[in-house]
Amino acid sequence: MSEVEVSGLFPVPFMRVSDLIDGDVVDALKQRFESGATETNVKTDLLSHSTVLNPDASDSFSGLSDIIRPHLVEFGGLLFGEELDWLIKEMWINRLEPGGFQTVHSHANSFISGVIYLTRSHPSARTTFYRGMGGREFAFANEHKGVRMGPFNAPKWAVPETGPGDMVLFPSFMLHEVPKNEGAVRMTVAFNAIPKRLKSWDYELNFG
């Protein structure tokens, strides 16, 4: 009898860390956002952002880098096959009001991006990832009510329910958005990270 085996070829990793930070740290970050300088998103005035800061040089994000970095090392090992030294180059807080949204985007000039949730997200406003547009895929689609969506054919994927203190990590090139928020205020910390160096046989790139 024939044996059938299906492999996921060139999969993209995604990491979720539950309860990365406790309730006291969550509350402190939310309070700092309320008292700090903010700017309105260019697409909607229902989304605002704190000043983008270097977390290692900021009292607002003091200590967060040390908590996050071991997970960056583990996740970076999946991407590059080596335990590298990682630098979080920027971090900021987002506040999404009811009715607000974040349009589809990716993060330039970084390799790993992450989100720490400071509030519980309404099901309507879960971070949603999309397949790359214009990639090496079929030019035709088969999408209708009778299709069984799975990891090989789904055009998008939403992060499962997250709670305050949870974190997710993903490759910075991945397209993602936050759909229209039909629930309460949603607050997150976002950040981008780079390795201090990447080496490819006879040359080495240093970022730190």
Q: What is the pLDDT of residues 127-178, one digit of tens each?
A: 999 987 766 667 788 889 999 999 888 989 999 999 999 999 999 999 999 9
In-domain check, residue 179: yes
Torsion angle in degrees (nearest 10) through CA of 206, 176, 180, 47: 10
In-domain check, residue 142: no
In-domain check, residue 8: no
Token pair for 56: 């290692």
Q: Which residues of 45-66 are buried (b: 16+ CB within 10 A; e: fewer)?
A: ebbbbbeebebeeeebbeebbe
The structural domain count of the chain equals: 1
In-domain check, residue 187: yes
Checking if the pLDDT of 203 tops 80, the result is yes
Residue 42 lies in domain: 15-134+151-196
In-domain check, residue 10: no
In-domain check, residue 61: yes
- The reported pLDDT for the residue numbered 124 is 97
Checking if the pLDDT of 77 tops 90, the result is yes
Q: Where residue 66 sits, what CATH number does that domain have? A: 2.60.120.620
Q: What is the pLDDT of residues 8-65, one digit of tens each?
A: 888 999 999 999 999 999 999 999 888 776 899 989 999 999 999 999 888 878 889 9
Looking at residues 173-190, what average pLDDT do you find? 97
- The reported pLDDT for the residue numbered 134 is 66
